[in-house]
Amino acid sequence: MRELVRFHDLLLRERLPHCRTAFVSGPAQVGRTTSCKALSTRYLDWDDVAHRLLILKGPEAVAKHLDLDRSREVTVVFDNLQGHRGWKDFLRKFQLRCSSRVRVVVTLLSHQGKLPSRSSLVRINPWTVGECARKGLVATPIEVPAAVSEEDWMALLEHGGFPEPFRKRDARFTQRWHARRQTDLIDHALPRLAAVRDPSLLQMLGLLLSDRSANPIVYSDLSRQLGVSVDTVTRWVGLLVELQYGFCVRPWFSGVPKALRKEPRWFLRDWSAVLDPSARMRTLVACHLLKAVEGWTDLGFGRFELRYVRDKLQREVDFLVLRDRKPWFLVAVAGESPRGGVAPSVLGHFQRVTRARHAFHMVMAAAFSSADCFALEEPAVVSARTLLSQLL
């Protein structure tokens, strides 16, 4: 396959000269290490025992080893630093030791809380239709439609957007990769975040949730199946989100009569691991929209969020994107035709009550069209290839 330009690589290179610290987060196996290694030869990996021993000796030893005193402008990469329980204190002391001439890149599974001053966050997500269709950073949140090749489209549907299976495009390799990634998350990444008395139960929870992607999380059902308390399941789901094994989309209820308020929907980060075709489609769209809202926020276009809408009358629209806390566009997902999705009246109803500017009935099997989806303000049937190509 042809070499594809990654959005986050361009964003990192643009941001780095203007910030003192760049935090790079993303799911395991998404390409954080590959991207950051390309930024500098001064690279230390916490998972490397020799590098770990050096970091534990403190900032002075690291600066001497990397010969930073003789360098004017230099970038230092600390990979997998989240494994160091005192990484925040180490980073603060390292920056005090090296002053402003040293740029620091830190890779983490996820970043929680407020960023330090003069720092930037770049969140890496798997490949998407928009990233396959175009090169370069975007100047506006919404781009003109751009066709993606049939080969790339089918590879995304069947193998997902994580670099290894997406490049290999081999079904047997993809299956082995799924199993290896889940084991690595539980056995290696989880201990860095929290102590779990029985990791095998957490692994069982991951398997149960892999079958429930695009569905509501019912904590009481999971509690009964695993034989643990509801509070424990809630905490474990939070750990899986922090591990970036999956993510939750919460309902939007402001201004929506009789709206559900508390029932989140669960989505895997890797849609190719979802067996049910309908759930896989919705998971693919959820991952594309999540990448878009995170990317737009990181680029400074505003504050974006991903939600869904459902009321007590069982009316529902799969996704709602917020822009600066205001509903922007709705997306209802269908397979072969719009008849497989929500009724047009439901989509129109939620557009009225949320006051979203756009409402799309997205058909996954529809052919690409060069028509701009975001030129339409009434509820409209659109091609998935077209709409997703206009996002990041």
Residues 128, 291 contacting (CB under 8 angstroms):
yes
pLDDT tens digit at each of 392 positions of the chain: 556 668 888 899 888 988 889 999 999 999 999 999 999 999 999 999 999 999 999 999 999 999 887 667 899 999 999 889 899 999 999 999 987 789 999 998 888 778 887 899 999 999 999 999 988 888 899 999 999 999 999 999 999 999 999 999 999 999 999 888 887 887 777 777 777 778 888 888 988 998 999 999 999 999 999 999 999 999 999 999 999 999 999 999 999 999 988 899 999 999 999 999 999 999 999 999 999 999 999 999 999 999 999 999 999 999 999 999 999 999 999 976 666 667 889 999 999 999 999 999 999 999 999 999 999 999 999 999 999 999 99
Angle (deg, nearest 10), helices 277-299 and 150-159: 110
Burial of 61-88, coded b for 16+ CB within 10 Å and e otherwise, reads ebbeebebeeeeebbbbbbbbbbbeebe
Whole-structure pTM value: 0.94
Count of Cβ atoms closer than 10 Å to residue 216 Cβ: 17
Strand 358-363 to 326-334 pairing? parallel
Q: Is the dihedral of CA 245, 140, 31, 280 positive or negative?
A: positive
Residues 141, 390 contacting (CB under 8 angstroms):
no
288-294 long-range contacts (CB < 8 A, ≥24 apart) are: 288/128, 288/129, 288/130, 288/388, 288/391, 289/319, 289/321, 289/331, 289/391, 290/125, 290/247, 291/125, 291/126, 291/128, 291/391, 291/392, 292/130, 292/141, 292/321, 292/391, 292/392, 293/321, 294/123, 294/125
Structural domains of the chain sorted by starting position, each given as residue range(s) with its CATH number in brackets: 7-123 (3.40.50.300), 129-389 (no CATH)
